[in-house]
């Protein structure tokens, strides 16, 4: 590296680290650093909102301290007329902080319903494709504690099981890629503070005020409950206790997979004992099989799985298709094949 490049690097480092002179920002960063605790290269998902900008800034500091390679991506969903202009604005904004933001575009027909859910799935898909190209196995997302609360109520209203309601965690795995949420214990108000102090601005998504979206209605509901005395500390404790129960179920469904199934590349063979576990354990075991064999990023809807499991329990020599899989029961053995 030339002396000129060394000088630029030193100047950039000084500029960035000076932002940590703010005591509140330093405290939030220290929480982020201890939560991340990662010594491998990673990808950062950026949207332009205060949470993702705070994540971009903190991850840049972290990468300098740990000498790690980091790639930054924003997905232009093209769901709004100004989405491309917005993505370019965020790219220019981060350029001032020596952050090179890459824009990924969602090409193709856009949905007319279930927009936010499908957009999220597409975002994950595009980001995971980048992990394969770059051979980087970690993606950082900007989810925070407010997202955990919202997710809980959304899943609760949909009648989700225990796993669905507490599924937002610091780390999850999708197609062998680590999805990491190092801001998960932080509050949105702290991230807004960071974005304002560091960047002086952030993108305001108009859909955040559109009550046509379930998440917005739930967010407003939580705000009303807070005025009625919703205790966030007790809510955190409740979610923590539910996660303990969820982990106990996870232990048994993993045990079921290990002892009662043979999983190959595009095929799984399930013996009779596989179906002798309690309903929730069986449901999760079978869902995981469909996810693995069907090569899906997300689980199939629970109602369809439950219907098939009920039929498999008393019928023989039947055949179903679900989640990019063919499910066939022959005598007492169930075979799951990837659909062609």
* Beta-ladder partners of 180: 140, 171
Exposed (0-12), middle (13-18) or buried (19+): which is 268, by Cβ within 10 Å? Answer: buried
pLDDT at 297: 60
Domain ranges of the chain: 3-230, 234-338
Given the candidates 1.10.3470, 3.90.1520, 3.30.465, 3.40.50, the CATH classification of the domain at 234-338 is: 3.30.465
Residue 3 in this model has a pLDDT that exceeds 60: no
For the structural domain made of 3-230, what CATH number should be given?
Answer: 3.40.50.620
- Averaged confidence pLDDT in the chain: 91
- What is the tens place of the pLDDT at every residue in 196-236? 999 999 998 888 888 888 889 999 998 888 888 888 888 88
**Is 181 within 8 Å of 169 (Cβ atoms)?**
yes
pLDDT confidence tier of residue 163, bands split at 50, 70 and 90: confident
CA distance 340 to 328: 14
pLDDT tens-digit series, residues 164-187: 888 788 998 888 899 999 999 999
Distance, CA of 324 to CA of 244 (rounded, Å): 32
- Relative to beta strand 70-76, strand 101-105 is parallel
Q: What pLDDT, on the 0 to 100 scale, is given for residue 298?
A: 62
pLDDT in tens, 93-152: 999 999 999 999 998 888 778 777 888 889 999 999 999 999 999 999 999 999 999 999
The 10s digit of each residue's pLDDT in 4-24 is: 444 447 888 999 999 999 999
Answer for the pair 52, 142: CB distance below 8 angstroms, yes or no: yes
- Dist CA 49 CA 265 (whole Å): 40
Q: Which of 92-106, 150-164, 281-295 has the highest mean pLDDT?
A: 92-106
Decide if 3-230 and 234-338 have a common fold.
Answer: no
């Amino acid at each position: 590296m030339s002396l000129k490049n060394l000088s630029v690097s030193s100047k950039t480092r000084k500029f960035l680290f000076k932002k940590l002179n703010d005591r509140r920002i330093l405290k939030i960063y220290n929480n982020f650093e201890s939560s991340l605790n990662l010594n491998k290269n990673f990808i950062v998902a950026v949207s332009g909102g205060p949470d993702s900008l705070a994540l971009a800034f903190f991850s840049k500091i972290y990468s300098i301290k740990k000498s790690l390679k980091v790639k930054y991506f924003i997905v232009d969903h093209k769901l709004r007329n100004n989405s491309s202009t917005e993505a370019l604005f965020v790219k220019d904004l981060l350029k001032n902080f020596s952050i090179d933001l890459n824009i990924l575009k969602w090409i193709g027909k856009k949905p007319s319903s279930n927009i936010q859910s499908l957009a999220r799935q597409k975002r994950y898909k595009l980001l995971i494709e980048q992990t394969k190209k770059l051979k980087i196995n970690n993606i950082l997302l900007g989810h925070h504690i407010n997202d955990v609360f919202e997710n809980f109520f959304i899943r609760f209203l949909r009648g989700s099981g225990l796993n669905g309601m507490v599924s937002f965690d610091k780390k999850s795995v999708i197609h062998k890629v680590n999805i990491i949420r190092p801001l998960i214990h932080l509050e949105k108000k702290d991230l807004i503070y960071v974005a304002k102090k560091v960047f002086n601005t952030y993108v305001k998504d108009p859909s955040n005020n559109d009550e046509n979206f379930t998440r917005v209605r739930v967010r407003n509901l939580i705000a009303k409950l807070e005025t009625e005395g919703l205790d966030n500390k007790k809510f955190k404790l409740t979610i923590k206790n539910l996660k303990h129960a969820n982990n106990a179920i996870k232990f048994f469904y993993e045990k079921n997979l290990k002892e009662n199934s043979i999983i190959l590349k595009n095929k799984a063979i399930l013996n009779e004992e596989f179906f002798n576990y309690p309903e929730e354990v069986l449901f999760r075991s079978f869902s995981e099989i469909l996810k693995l064999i069907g090569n899906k990023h997300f689980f199939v809807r629970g109602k369809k799985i439950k219907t098939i499991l009920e039929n498999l329990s008393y019928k023989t020599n039947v055949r179903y298709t679900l989640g990019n899989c063919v499910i066939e029961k022959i005598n007492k053995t169930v075979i799951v094949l990837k659909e062609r």
